[in-house]
Copies of this chain bind each other. A is one copy, B any other.
Amino acid sequence: MTSLLASTQILIVIFHAVVGYSYTTNYITVPVDHFSYTNDDVFQLKYLTNNTFWDAKKGPIFFYTGNEAPIESFSKNTGFMWEISKEFRAMVVFAEHRYYGDSMPYGNDSFNDKKKLGYLTSQQAIADFVDVINHLREDSALNRRRPNPVIAFGGSYGGMLAAWLRMKYPAAVEGAIASSAPIWQFTGMTPCNDFHKVTSSVYRNTSVECAETISASWKAIDNVTETGDGKTWLTDNWRLCKPLKDKDDVQLLKNWASEVYVSLAVVNYPYEANFFAPLPANPIKEVCKPMINHAVDDRELLRSVFRGLSVYFNYTESAKCLDTESAYPDEIIKGWNYQACTEMIMPFCANGGEDDIFEAIPWDFESYADYCETQYDVRPNVDDVEKQYGGKNIDAASNIIFSNGLLDPWSSGGVLKSVSFTVRALLIPDAAHHLDLRASHRNDTESVVRARKTIKRWIKMWIHGYWLRK
> Which B residue's beta carbon lies closest to that of A341?
B37
- Considering the complex, give the chain B residue whose CB is closest to the CB of A422: B396
Task: Give which listed residue, B37, B115, B120, B169, contacts A118 with CB less than 8 A.
Answer: B37
A367 at the binding interface (Cβ < 8 Å): no
With a cutoff of 8 Å between Cβ atoms, the chain B residues found around residue A76 in the complex are: none
Our pick among B115, B118, B171, B399 for the contact of A390 (Cβ within 8 Å) is: B171
Give Cα A141–Cα B229 distance, bound, in whole angstroms.
55
Residues of B within 8 A of A397 (CB): 170
Of the listed stretches A83-91, A123-131, A196-204, A328-336, chain B binds A123-131
CA distance A346 to B131 in the complex (A): 21
Q: Are A387 and B134 in contact (CB under 8 A)?
A: yes
Contacts of A117 in B (CB 8 A): 37-38
A170 / chain B contacts, CB cutoff of 8 Å: 390, 393, 395-397
A168: interface (CB < 8 Å):
yes
A59 CB to closest chain B CB (Å) equals 19
Nearest-CB distance from A142 to chain B (Å)? Answer: 14
Judge whether B35 and A35 touch: CB under 8 Å. Answer: yes
Q: Is the contact region of chain A dominated by helix, strand, or loop, or is it mixed?
A: loop
Known A130-B387, A396-B398: A121·B169 in contact at CB below 8 Å: no
State in angstroms the CA–CA spacing of A34 and B33 once bound together: 12
B residues near A114, Cβ cutoff 8 Å: 37-38
This protein's copies in its complex = 2
Alpha-carbon gap, A170 to B36, bound state (A):
22
**Given A131-B387, A387-B134, are A35 and B124 also a contact pair (CB < 8 Å)?**
yes
- A391 at interface by CB-CB < 8 Å: yes
Complex: A171 Cα to B387 Cα, angstroms = 8
A384 to chain B, nearest CB (A): 8
Does A378 sit at the interface, judged by CB under 8 A?
yes
Most buried by B among A34, A116, A117, A394: A34
Docked-complex contact A121 and B37, CB < 8 angstroms: yes
Q: Is the beta-carbon distance between A469 and B35 smaller than 8 angstroms? A: no
Are A39 and B387 closer than 8 Å at their CB atoms? no
A176 to B37, CA, bound (A): 28
Distance from A74 Cβ to chain B, minimum over Cβ atoms (Å): 24
Given the complex, which residues of B lie within 8 Å of A394, measured CB to CB?
Answer: 171
Q: If A130-B387, A395-B469 touch, does A34 touch B37 (CB 8 Å cutoff)?
A: no
Give chain B residues whose Cβ lies under 8 Å from the Cβ of A168.
168
CA distance A436 to B397 in the complex (A): 29
Which residue on B lies nearest to A384, using beta carbons?
A: B34
Say which residue of B33, B37, B383, B390 sits within 8 Å of A36 (CB atoms).
B33
Chain B neighbourhood of A119, CB < 8 A: 36-38
Contact B35 A378 (CB under 8 A): no
Residue on B nearest A381 in the bound complex, by CB: B37
Indicate if A148 sits at the interface (CB-CB under 8 A).
Answer: no
A47 to chain B, nearest CB (A): 17
Q: Is the CB of B396 within 8 A of A36?
A: no
**Does A225 count as interface, using CB distance less than 8 angstroms?**
no
A267 to B325, CA, bound (A): 70
The docked-state distance in angstroms from the alpha carbon of A119 to that of B39 is 10
Cross-chain pairs A/B with CB under 8 angstroms, 23 sampled:
A33-B35, A33-B36, A35-B121, A36-B118, A36-B119, A36-B124, A37-B114, A37-B120, A37-B121, A37-B342, A37-B378, A38-B116, A38-B117, A38-B118, A134-B383, A134-B387, A170-B395, A170-B397, A171-B390, A171-B391, A171-B394, A172-B390, A396-B398
Residues of A within 8 A of B (CB): 33-39, 114-121, 123-124, 127, 130-131, 134, 168-172, 342, 378, 383, 387, 390-391, 393-399, 469
Given contacts A33-B36, A36-B124, A171-B394, could you give 13 more A-B pairs where the C-beta distance is less than 8 Å? Answer: A33-B35, A34-B35, A35-B35, A36-B121, A37-B117, A37-B120, A37-B342, A37-B378, A38-B118, A168-B168, A171-B391, A172-B390, A395-B469
